[in-house]
Structure formats: structure tokens, C-alpha cells
Structure 1
Amino acid sequence: MFGELRGKALFEALPDALNDTGYWGVATATALNLVARGRIVPSVTEDGRDTWRIGPLDHADELHLRQLAAHGDYDELRAFLDAVADVLPRGGADGPFAAAEPCHVPELKSWADEQVELSLRIETTDDLRLRAIVQVRAVTDPYPRDVRGSGRELDAIRAIGRSTWPPLQRLLDQADLADDEVAELLETDIEVHWPKNLTTTLSARAVIGEPSGQFKADDLLTFNWQLALGGSALTDAEMDVIAEASRPVVRLRDQWVLVDPALKKKARQQLNPITAVQAVTAALAGVAVVDGEQVEVAPHSLTTAIGAIPEIPAPAGLQAKLRDYQLHGLRWLAHMTSLGLGACLADDMGLGKTITLIALHLQRRHENPTLVVCPASLLGNWEREIHRFAPGTPVTRYHGPQRTLAAEGIVLTTYGTMRLDAETLRNHEWGMVVADEAQHVKNPHSGTAKALRSIPAGARVALSGTPVENSLSELWSILDWTTPGLLGTHRAFRTRWPEPDGTLAKVVRPFLLRRRKSDPGVAPELPPKTETDLPVSLTTEQAALYDALTRETLEQIAASDGMARRGLVLKLLTGLKQICNHPSHYLGHPALQGTSGKLELLDELLDTIVAEDGSVLIFTQYVGMARLLEQHIKQPTRFLHGGTPVPRREQMVDDFQQGRAPVFLLSLKAAGTGLNLTRADHVIHFDRWWNPAVEDQATDRAYRIGQTRPVQVHKLVTEGTVEERIAALLQEKRSLADAVLHGGEAAFTELTDAELAELVQLRSQ
């Protein structure tokens, strides 16, 4: 409706258009914003009448229009913006571009088509008054020229001035600038050519006051403006000169300086003190947000304080020799926690994060105990490692029905118990709280994360073997627990860093230590690891089930939409993966019936591995499939899943590590992290997870420090199926693969029917 209006009718409709909550309301607000910023140019229509049009547009403006036009037609949108631009500058004045109704000025067409741009050349008088000479330059001209004479062209320029900056009209006749006009000119979009004897290099940045004594996270630091001339900081006396100046031009250091009113205000403005953690963020990033404005922050000794890691020896009570990278990790953690700052040790699985934390506990010698929160499957591993590497250190399991807290040593608990007993733990004095497998609290709104955040401690350390830097949300959640306030609120963080960048890396780097097995010198003693995709064919029975399910479900998907369609897509993907495993898995049989290509290959692999005195981990994401395999496998086998009680888990791990059971069946979610299973020299992924990082973490149960034999990783992939197609996608790293890595199976629900069919339909083998 609004797009069809022109002239007076459009002018009268603008208030209603602006109140519209839909497309035309946004378009009207966009037009008004562009006009207010002087983004309009005079033009002449084909029939010779004067008109105003939107322009010139910068890249950001053009991008905004393109995004807005996605909800309409681009040409129609531009016509509407031009119509708004034409009615707003007009009034009752005479001459082209100013009269209420368009004038017939064909003689200006060639001039208007040149896309004239205005600028001002500033001159200084003997008494340092400023004069402004109006200049005009066509796009085809290399240099601007002074506006002289009279006539239609001068009338048009007056109209341009009236719409962009009213004093421009007067400057065509009288060039002297008033002081307040100089101040206004600094805030307009008009191009200004300042005289060489007048410097405009006055700038402002924020400066953080020096902390008193040793830096601590609970310090409160001063935060003020510092003005600089040509990059050199002004003295307090010079700052006073700026603040007390009555004119926009002052004399400083034997030169005349143009003072922006906003800078003058900052010469006297007092900023609120900030916490040391906020100061650290600002100092590391080199920028801070003040009153919604991003400003430069002067270099500060805080960055030196954080980076100055002292050379301390391993604690005397540690019964082990730390590797060089582990000793560096200990020193880093000891330094950060001594400053009152938290930290996240995110080394690859199997590089010894547990022993590093045990050494940190011994080094801190805190009078209050350390609380370690971990998955239930890791309680036994933590207890064994403490007894092994720090004998004599009291260890208490705060888990089970008869749990009690200890007043010293190390207290071990699970995330579930911590959530249930948050109040009890909250009222206990802790020298340090450690969150092992910290990805368990990656959702800051979960009950587990809230419970962990409520427990006060002298220091907080997160341990994670997952690449937390790949997920900004997870990164924020973990570091906001270890060092609250470091990255601001979650909303502000997402606004400031929608994507990873160099500034974020500067802020995060001191608080996140991540080493990989592949890094030079980290784990040279690790044996080689060989990963192999093993293609297997579907049996005739599997192929028939696969083809039937695909045809039937694709027909249902084509006839549905919304949540119903998404549910069908997920159901299809799950069913196809189950068929690829074994017909009995899909059909829900209590025992294996029929044939499966994967099962035949698994039997061959197990026979060979056990005959060679090897041990193997078999991972599947489906507990139901694991139960079927447990009944089928002839060799001594243990089976660990999410419902396995903690004492039974520990016994299973011991049985496997001692060689009493060469085959270990594991649920991927329940056993994909934390366990130390270095007896295994083979790992079999019976079915494929969408995210290779999850499979790598599972493989790291065997491929970790303590492993002395080469590790063979076997990944079973059924040919011609969705498994094969997704494996190829992940290797090619296409955009869909990226979506899968972050969204899992849900990413496939957004495919079109044709794309989905291409992904899942069975191909000839």
C-alpha cells in the first residue's frame, strides 16, 4: 500500500507507515535514517523535472537494503526510498529541489547525472577564525572546485545544503564559521578538507589504573579517559586546557588543535571503577565498550602479570616425574589460581590432566579441601590416581547413600550428586573446585551448571578433553564459570563475538591451555595410530528392509510438514542406521536373527584380534545393539553403559586392564570420555556417529599416555547407504557437514525432499 504513494499523499502517510510493524514500517524507518544521514542526491527525471533520490550508499547500507528486499522486490523498495527522499527536503522555497512541487529544469539534467558531491575547504584567518569554502565535485572530476556565481546550479546546491546541513546555504554567501558550527561540522557526514596548520590528531583511549600491590581478581581498579595528541598522551595540565577551552580550537605543544566536543567532554568525564577481571578483558582485547561505544584501551601491566608464569618445581609429595608440558601446565594453573583467576586445561584426552591437577592440589597447600566433580564412571580412576601419585593424601568419595563430607584432602563427587546436594556443598569451605569433563556444564541454564556455579571456592579449574574453542557458547559457559565476568554476559558475548576472531583469541588465550598429541614434544612416546574405514555390504535381508523403509517414509515425508516432517526424518535416519547394524536391531528382536554384513566382519575381526593376544574396545551409540552383541560374542566380554552402577564399572575396567576380558563393549555416550583403557590395541566403531570428534574421544580411551602398542581403529561403514554418504560428506567438509557437526541429526531435517532422497536412497553395490 505505502509503496504506491507519492508526493503529498506519501508525506501525509509517513507517520502511519512508520508505525507499521511489517515490511513497510522497516522500509520507512530505513528511508528516514538515510535522509537524516544526508544519503540523498539531487537528480532530474527523464522528462526534465527535479527530484531527490537515495544515495550514495556505502557497503553497509547496500547490504541492509538487499537483506530488506529479500522480503519484497528490490526495485520496488528503491522506488519507495526515492519517493520518501523526494518529499522530505521540499518546502515552500523557490527554485529546483526546494519547491513543494517539482520544477521543470531540463538544463540541469546533465549536471545532476554527474552525481555531484559537496565538500568544504576550511581556511584560517589571522585571528584563527575558520572560514568554509563550499566545493563541488562530479564523480568524473579528479578534484573539487569552489562554488561560484549564481543560477540554477547554485539553487540546487542550496537545496542540497538545506537537506544535509542547513549552514551550507549561508556559507555560499558568507563563509565565516561560528564556533558552534565547527562543533556541528565534526559530527556531520560532509567531507571536510582541514588546513595544514590545524591538526585533527587528538584522540582518546581508556586507561586502567595500576592495581595496588600484587594483582588479585577481586581488586577494584580505576578506569579513566586519556587524551593523546598524535599518539602521545596529554599531561593532566594539558587535559585541563582541553576541558576548559571555550572555543573548538586550542593551542597545545606549539600547534593549533581542533577539539571534537566529544573529546572535550571526556577530558573531565569520570568513568566508574571496574573489577580486575573486567580490566583483564579490556587490557587483553585492547578495546572496551563504554556507554555503548567501543574504545581503545591503553596497554597495561595486567597482561604482563598474567603472562609472567613463575618457574616452580613439582611438589615434593608427588610420586611421579611430570613431563615438560605437564610441568608447564602445573605452573600455569598455580599462577592463575594464585591471582584469583580460574582456568581451563583442555588438553587432548590421555595427556595427563588428572596427574596435573593432583600436583596442583599438593602445590597449593590450602587449608581447605579440593572438590573434584566428575562423571560417575571416573570416580574410581580419580581415586586410584590420587593413591598412586599422592600417597597419604586423604580421599573421600561423596557419593552413594551414606555420603559424608571431609574437612581435608580431596573430595570426589559426581555431577548428579552435586546437583542434588548443592546446598550442602555450597555451605562447605573449599580451597579449589575442579570440574572434570567440564562439557557437562556447557549449558549455563541447566540445573547442573547452576548448582556448580553456586559453590564458592578459592580457585576454579575446568578440565576438558574436547576442543571447546570450536563452540563459542560452550567456551563462554566454561570460562564464565572459571572466571565469572571475564567474557561479559552471554547476550553481550554473542553480540560482540558472533564468530571467533583475533580479539577473542587474545582474551581467551591466557585462560585456556590446550595441547594436542600431535604437538611437537608433547607425547613423543605414543605409538602410531592407524584408522581404517572398513566397507561392508548389506545382506539381501538388510537391503530389502532398507529399501522398503526408505520408500515408505519418503512418501510420508513428502505429504507432511513442520514438526511432523522433522520427526519422520529423524525416525527414518534412526531406522536406516539400525538396519545397517543388523535386522534384529531394527525389528526389536531379543536376540540376533538373520544376517548382517557388519556382524560377519566383526566376528572375523574378533577372532583375529583375540588369537593374536590383543584386546579390543567396541563402541556403539545404541545400548540395544550392544545387548544383542553381548549375547553373540563368544570371547570373554564386558559391557558398560549409562545404567551400570559405579562399583560395577570400576570392576569392569579392572577386568579389562588386567586381561581377564579381552573384549569391552561400550555405549558411546556413557564411555566416550574419561576412561583409561590402554590394554586395548584395537578400537572398533560398530556404527558411525555424525561427529568425528565424538569418535576420536572414544578412541582416546585406548590411545593415551600409557599405551605402548600401535592402535588399530576400525570404522565399519555399510556401502551404498546413508552411512557411506555421511562419511564422505564429513571428509569433504562441505557446508552440510559443518551443520551436522554442530546440530547432529537435526541438521538433516532441513533438507528438501530431493536432497533427503539423495542422501538416504540405497545405491547399487
Structure 2
Amino acid sequence: VWSGAAGAAFGAWARRDALLTLRRAARVWPALSPLLSAAVPDALELDDEEIAELLGDAGRALAQSGVEVHWPRSLARTLTTRAVAGHPADRGTPDGRASRAPSLLSADALLSFDWRFALGGVPVDRAELDRIAEAGRPLVRLRDRWVLVDPEEVRRARERRDRLIPPMEALGAVLAGTTEVDGRPVEVEASGRLRELRDVLADPEGGPREAGQPAALAATLRDYQLRGLDWLHRMTSLGLGACLADDMGLGKTVTLIALHLRRRSDPASAGPTLVVCPTSLMGNWQREIERFAPGTPVRRFHGPHRALDNVTDGFVLTTYGTMRLDAGRLARVDWGMVVADEAQHVKNPYSATARRLRTIGGRARVALTGTPVENNLTELWAILDWTTPGLLGRLGTFRGRYAQAVEGGADPAAAERLSRLVRPFLLRRRKSDPGIAPELPPKTETDRAVALTKEQAGLYEAVVRETLAAIAEADGMERRGLVVTLLTALKQICNHPAQYLKEEGAPRLAGRSGKLELLDELLETILSEGAGVLVFTQYVRMARLLAGHLAARGVRAQLLHGGTPVGEREAMVRRFQDGEVPVFLLSLKAAGTGLNLTRAEHVVHYDRWWNPAVEAQATDRAYRIGQTRPVQVHRLIAEGTVEDRIAEMLARKRRLADAVLGGAGEAALTELTDAELAELVRLRAPDGGYDEDGARGEPRDGGAAPEGGENGTSGGRGR
């Protein structure tokens, strides 16, 4: 630019632009100022401190001002660090193996975290790194090669001393492939037996098949159940916990019974199995054990006269409530295995249930659940931190490193790292997976929209108007409480005015609710075909209203809710399965899991829960292994109301849950702005308005088929 013909070729404007750029750069980094007074500003000698500045803050500031810094390619610049995790006893042995080393994952074992360094791809040992650091210069000579490095990076690398870490921390790091040091991601490799263990765990359903099902099991396991049994046995034999998260109805109970029988043959793992489950499932567990493992001792640790005398083998069944009260007594037993059924009951790590369960030791821990993630990834952490403590680190660290990035969708790589870390410890199979349950019949899911009656519409609009005005004047917890109150009131109005108004005695129900009118029509068709039906509602009061209404119409029905005694629950299940009572009214919270109700060909969700996974669990009371007839699922939705918008939200949330992402739910709705909340709850009148005498009641076709292609289709009323 400044010399002879070359300068002429560029033109006078080139010198002007170059000087302007140089002046801008000198303002950002004053070390360039001498060039501004030079006749030919083509070169400048820098001292060590200035080179270090250019490698760090100065280089970044210049780049932000539009001046890029280029370094000679011949200079090795990139200092990389990675950690190699393994057992100290494996060092120096062939292939990193040490046959007589102590157990890799024993409670008192510590694994090594050894650091490896490289400059420009060339390995650097600790002594060479020390010499570079002690030189304190950015430009040094290493093995006949000039090396340009940031002294600050060298200092940080030098401080990373080899250390010993707990086995679960090391295992989690090598499975994810990275760890964080000083807030920065660092690559992690496995060595020796830790590498072998990682390879064994990488594919839960891979590896050699074991000896098949136990001889004492009075059942023939399906192929996927045998693979699940092998995986559970392998994990528990290694001293690791496991979460079997198969869809409801795929036989988690019989697989666990088979695991108990297989472990019983090994003195190191033999011992009694404690099963902690919801109250409604104790009878089912006892029947399944007596059926599939005849002769195996089974007792219930429940009720006022519960005892743990002479527990040396077999199964002990208890409830989460009893476990909370008697965790101390349960902890004194030498359990061969502790099982948490419907493990979503411990999804809140701070709850008394979760804390007490952690105090009960066992040689193996297994969680069973069809919904490992219902709302957010903290629930997944709570379950896996119980089965395999320490694997996912502390909750705060887990939230910062994985959960926030995955739930927000901002970092797809974080989802992939979490998947690699979790997959070996959580086996998830769905009914829709190829080859899992080909014998299951089709399932049809239909959203059935009904219009509000004039009474419902009037109540709805009045509640929206009055409560939104109160919400506009409130803030903090008071506002959140008002939002929850509003949403609850609107859902109850959509169900029936008598529920919202808390009408006592035997109120008149007919002609006042679009949902009730449609339910009557559905039941008329279902009962004329001799079929059975489950009707779920989240409100016990609504269930009681429905029971009274059906009784008045002469329809045989029974009601199960949280206050139903265990013995009566089991009798109700038998009556329904035997065809004595065709209509089973169920409280969603009390009966949404664990029950086998395969006589039902229809499932009606009278109102919508905030979480699609909970609804799916309820549907699986009928749509499970043993069902031989097509199942029709009817979701009743009040047209133009908050239920309509919630249905759209649930469809999106289901897709997130399928990707192991957290959802929102009622808590997130409390954070909506006043305008967003008003839009959510605003009543949109259907075409033709509201009938004076009742709802228009026509179903909305086009309900989505189940995710994953479960042979579902949409239809009309199913007459």
C-alpha cells in the first residue's frame, strides 16, 4: 500500500482506509499508537506483555471493533486439556487392566482423574507444562518449535492437579464425555476397567443374553421382558441402581418378580425385597407374586398390627404413607433389594417421602415408573439420584448444567449429553415401539367438544370478569393463588354448575351441562353393546355427582376414590373385571396408576388434567397387556373455554415429554401476564351460540392419533 507500483495498484483510497482502521485499532489497543507516527506503518515490535495482551483481552477487543488478528500458522497456539478417568490400580498394567484391584464401584473406592495436555495436537507432559508456565512468556521454544500460548491458560492448566474422585462422579463424567472445571467444559476419557464398564453400560438391551427366566417363575416372559430382566440383573449385580420406565401395562411387575427370583440364587445378592407402592397397588402386587412366584413368602407391612419379625426372604409390601411413618423400622432390615413402584411419588427430592426413602438401605435399588418425567427434569434427577446416588451430581449443578438448557431448548448438545448419561440407568420401552407389544389391539383417541349451556356460559363469564379484576390489583403469592382459583373454578363450571356452586343433597343435574349430556349419550351406546367403561375425573365431588346421576337413571356404577379402603378397592376391581358393574367412576389421582381393568373397552376423561402423562397412565388401566379388544378414549372438552386452550397446550407438552423435556403445567400458568391470562380464559362462543335448554354437544372430529403410531384414528361418537 505504501510502496511504489503496488501502492498505485491499490489506489490512494487504500492508504486512507488503512490509516483510519489503524487509528480505530489504536484507540482500542494503545500499543499500536507508534504505527500512527511511522512513515511506513508496516511493522511493530512487541514485548512479552504486549503479546500476552494480544492473545487475550486486546485481541478480543480488536475483533469487536472489526480488526481481526491473524497469527502465523507455524506457531502452535491451542492448549487443550482432557481428563482421563480410571482406577489407580489400572495404571501401568497391560491394556489398563488389573485383575486383583478392589471393586471398581465399591463404597470406599476412589477413582483417579488424571489430566492430559496437548499443544497444537502434540502431547505435553507435566514437566514441560511447568517449564512453559515458569517462563511466564507467551512465546516459548518447545521441542524445536515455537509455541505461542496465553500464560493465563497455562496457569489454569497447571493448577489442574490429578485427583481422586468418587466412582459415581467418574462414571457420570465418562458417560457424558465431558465435565465442567471452573465453569468450562472439559473432555473426559475412560481408561482400564472404567472404559470396559462404560462399554457394557452403553447399550442397556445389548450384550450377551443370560440364562433366561428363572425356573421358579410361573410365567413365560416376552422377549422384551427378558431383555429388561437381563438389564436389571446386570445393573444390580454391578452395584448400580436402575429405573425401569416401560409404558404402563408392559409387565414391569412380573419382570421385577423374575429379578427377585434370579437374585435369590446368588448368596451375595439374596435377601428379602421391599416394595414401596401406592395403597391401591398392594393387592395387585400380592396377587401377582402369588400367581407368578408361587411359594414365595409375601406379607403386607401395613395397618395397625404391622410387623417385620423374621423377615429373611420373599417380599414385603408397604405403602409410601406407612414408609414415611416407619422408615426407622424398615431401615433396620437387611434388604436384598428395595423397589419404589410408581416412583414418581418421590419426584420431589425435598418431600418427606423422598427423604425417608433414602434412609432405607439395600444391596440394590430399582425404581418402576411409566412417567420418569412428568413436569421437569428435576423429577428425573430425584428418581435416579435415589437409585444411583451421585451419578447426576448435586441438584443445583444438574439444573445449571443440563435441566435449564434442555427445558429451554437453547442447547441441543446438552440434551444429547444428558441422554448419554441417563440412558444406561433408565430403560424406556413404549407400546408403540416395533416388536414390543404387537398383540395389543388398536387404540382410538378422540377429543369430543361440547358447548356450554346458557347457565354454564353465564357463570363462566361472571367468574372471568370478577376474578381478572381482582388479579389486576394483586401481586406475588396472592396473584398466583387467584390465578389457580380462577382456573379451578372455570374447570368446575365446565364440568357442571352443581359442582362449582357446591349444591348439596340431590341437585337437579339434567339439562345443565353439555358434558353430562354427552356422557349420557356415550353411556347409552356403550352399555347397549355390553361393554365396560372407565370414567375419570380429577374431582371426587364431581364423581359423586355422576354416581348419584347414574343411580337415578338405573345405571349400574361404582366409585373409587382416595378414601376407599384397600379391601373395597380390590372387591371393586373384581366386580368390574367380572362384568357385574359396567361403569367404573374413578378419581384420577387415586386410581390413575396400577390397576388392571382390561374389561374396559372405553375410557372417558370427563375433565382434563394438567399433565398428559397422567392421563396416559389412567388410560393404561385398560390399554395394557391382557387387553384383547380395541380401546376407545374419549376426552370431553368444553368448546371455546380454557379447556380448549389447555388441550392445545397438552398436545405440545406431550411432544416435549417424549423428548425427555420438562413441561409447564398449572404453576407456569400463574406466571402469565394479565393480558395473556385474559386471552387464555376468554370465552369464545361456538357458532350458533348457546342453547337455552342445554349444550349443542356435537363432537369435534380430528382428535390426534396417539404419538408413536399406536394404530389410533379419529372418529365421531363411536355409535
- Paired amino acid for 2:248: M
Q: How does 1:96-175 map to 2 (within 5 A)?
A: 116-117=24-25, 147=35, 149-150=37-38, 175=45
| Per-residue CA distance 1:138-161 (angstroms, 9 max, x = gap) | xxxxxxxx937449x99xx9xxxx
Paired position in structure 2 for 1:372: 275
Q: 2:484 aligns with which of 559, 570, 578?
A: 570
Paired position in structure 1 for 2:237: 338
Paired position in structure 2 for 1:126: none
Q: How does 1:524-539 map to 2 (within 5 A)?
A: 524-539=438-453
* Distance across 1 between alignment mates of 2:428 and 2:499: 40
8 A contact 1:557–1:753 mirrored in 2? no
1:592 and 2:491 are equivalent in the alignment: no
Q: 1:687 aligns with which of 587, 604, 607?
A: 607
Paired position in structure 1 for 2:682: 760
* Distance across 1 between alignment mates of 2:576 and 2:452: 32
Paired position in structure 2 for 1:304: 199
* Distance across 1 between alignment mates of 2:438 and 2:229: 20
Q: 1:508 aligns with which of 408, 412, 422?
A: 422
8 A contact 2:446–2:635 mirrored in 1? yes
1:204 and 2:81 are equivalent in the alignment: yes
Query: In percent, how many aligned pairs have the same letter?
Result: 59
Give the CA deviation at 1:374: 0.7
Structure 1 residues 115 and 752: alpha-carbon distance in aligned structure 2, compared to 1, 3 A threshold = farther
| Per-residue CA distance 1:591-616 (angstroms, 9 max, x = gap) | 23143332222222223222212111
Higher relative contact order (CA 8 A, sep 6+): 2
1:614 and 2:531 are equivalent in the alignment: yes
8 A contact 1:374–1:414 mirrored in 2? yes
| Per-residue CA distance 1:428-479 (angstroms, 9 max, x = gap) | 1111111111111111111110001111111111111115286211111111
- Paired amino acid for 2:521: E
Unaligned 5+ runs, structure 1:
1-107, 121-132, 137-145, 158-170
* Distance across 2 between alignment mates of 1:307 and 1:326: 19
Give the CA deviation at 1:570: 3.0
Paired position in structure 1 for 2:549: 632
Paired position in structure 2 for 1:223: 113
Of residues 297-306 and 349-358 in structure 1, the stretch that sits farther from structure 2 once superposed is: 297-306
Of residues 288-297 and 670-679 in structure 1, the stretch that sits farther from structure 2 once superposed is: 288-297
Equivalenced residues, count: 619
8 A contact 1:371–1:411 mirrored in 2? yes
* Distance across 2 between alignment mates of 1:733 and 1:673: 20
1:605 and 2:493 are equivalent in the alignment: no
Structure 1 residues 757 and 553: alpha-carbon distance in aligned structure 2, compared to 1, 3 A threshold = farther
Q: How does 1:525-564 map to 2 (within 5 A)?
A: 525-558=439-472, 560-564=474-478
Give the CA deviation at 1:393: 1.6
Structure 1 residues 177 and 572: alpha-carbon distance in aligned structure 2, compared to 1, 3 A threshold = closer
| Per-residue CA distance 1:490-516 (angstroms, 9 max, x = gap) | 111112122222212211111111111
Give the CA deviation at 1:664: 0.8
- Paired amino acid for 2:449: P
Give the CA deviation at 1:254: 5.3
8 A contact 2:334–2:362 mirrored in 1? yes
| Per-residue CA distance 1:249-305 (angstroms, 9 max, x = gap) | 666565444465444774685332011111111111222223444322124414214
Paired position in structure 2 for 1:77: none
Paired position in structure 2 for 1:580: 494
Q: How does 1:22-421 map to 2 (within 5 A)?
A: 116-117=24-25, 147=35, 149-150=37-38, 175=45, 177-178=47-48, 186-190=55-59, 193-210=70-87, 212=98, 213=101, 215-216=104-105, 218=107, 219-231=109-121, 233-234=123-124, 255-258=145-148, 261=151, 262-263=153-154, 266=157, 270-300=161-191, 301=195, 302-307=197-202, 309-312=207-210, 313-365=212-264, 366-405=269-308, 406-421=311-326
Give the CA deviation at 1:185: 5.8
8 A contact 1:217–1:341 mirrored in 2? no
Of residues 671-680 and 562-571 in structure 1, the stretch that sits farther from structure 2 once superposed is: 562-571
What SS is found at the alignment partner of 1:519?
coil
* Distance across 2 between alignment mates of 1:306 and 1:599: 52
- Paired amino acid for 1:761: L
* Distance across 1 between alignment mates of 2:626 and 2:468: 49
| Per-residue CA distance 1:292-331 (angstroms, 9 max, x = gap) | 4432212441421423744212222222222222111111
Of residues 259-268 and 459-468 in structure 1, the stretch that sits farther from structure 2 once superposed is: 259-268
Q: Give me the CA root mean square deviation.
A: 3.6
1:487 and 2:392 are equivalent in the alignment: yes
Structure 1 residues 554 and 311: alpha-carbon distance in aligned structure 2, compared to 1, 3 A threshold = same
What SS is found at the alignment partner of 1:468?
coil
| Per-residue CA distance 1:203-228 (angstroms, 9 max, x = gap) | 22111134654642533111121123
Paired position in structure 2 for 1:431: 336
* Distance across 1 between alignment mates of 2:418 and 2:35: 49
* Distance across 2 between alignment mates of 1:468 and 1:758: 26
Paired position in structure 1 for 2:693: none
| Per-residue CA distance 1:613-635 (angstroms, 9 max, x = gap) | 21110101110111121122233
Paired position in structure 2 for 1:60: none
Unaligned 5+ runs, structure 2:
1-15, 60-67, 91-97, 407-414, 691-719
8 A contact 1:740–1:747 mirrored in 2? no
Structure 1 residues 369 and 258: alpha-carbon distance in aligned structure 2, compared to 1, 3 A threshold = same
- Paired amino acid for 1:461: V
- Paired amino acid for 1:706: G
TM-score where L is the length of structure 2: 0.78
Structure 1 residues 325 and 215: alpha-carbon distance in aligned structure 2, compared to 1, 3 A threshold = farther
User: Which of the two has higher C-alpha Rg?
Assistant: 1
* Distance across 1 between alignment mates of 2:160 and 2:462: 74
Structure 1 residues 115 and 332: alpha-carbon distance in aligned structure 2, compared to 1, 3 A threshold = farther
- Paired amino acid for 2:600: A
Structure 1 residues 187 and 299: alpha-carbon distance in aligned structure 2, compared to 1, 3 A threshold = farther
* Distance across 1 between alignment mates of 2:395 and 2:362: 22
| Per-residue CA distance 1:342-374 (angstroms, 9 max, x = gap) | 121111111111111111111222332111111
Structure 1 residues 237 and 109: alpha-carbon distance in aligned structure 2, compared to 1, 3 A threshold = closer
Of residues 418-427 and 634-643 in structure 1, the stretch that sits farther from structure 2 once superposed is: 634-643
* Distance across 2 between alignment mates of 1:402 and 1:668: 30
Structure 1 residues 705 and 415: alpha-carbon distance in aligned structure 2, compared to 1, 3 A threshold = same
Structure 1 residues 558 and 294: alpha-carbon distance in aligned structure 2, compared to 1, 3 A threshold = closer
Of residues 295-304 and 502-511 in structure 1, the stretch that sits farther from structure 2 once superposed is: 295-304
- Paired amino acid for 1:458: R
- Paired amino acid for 1:689: W
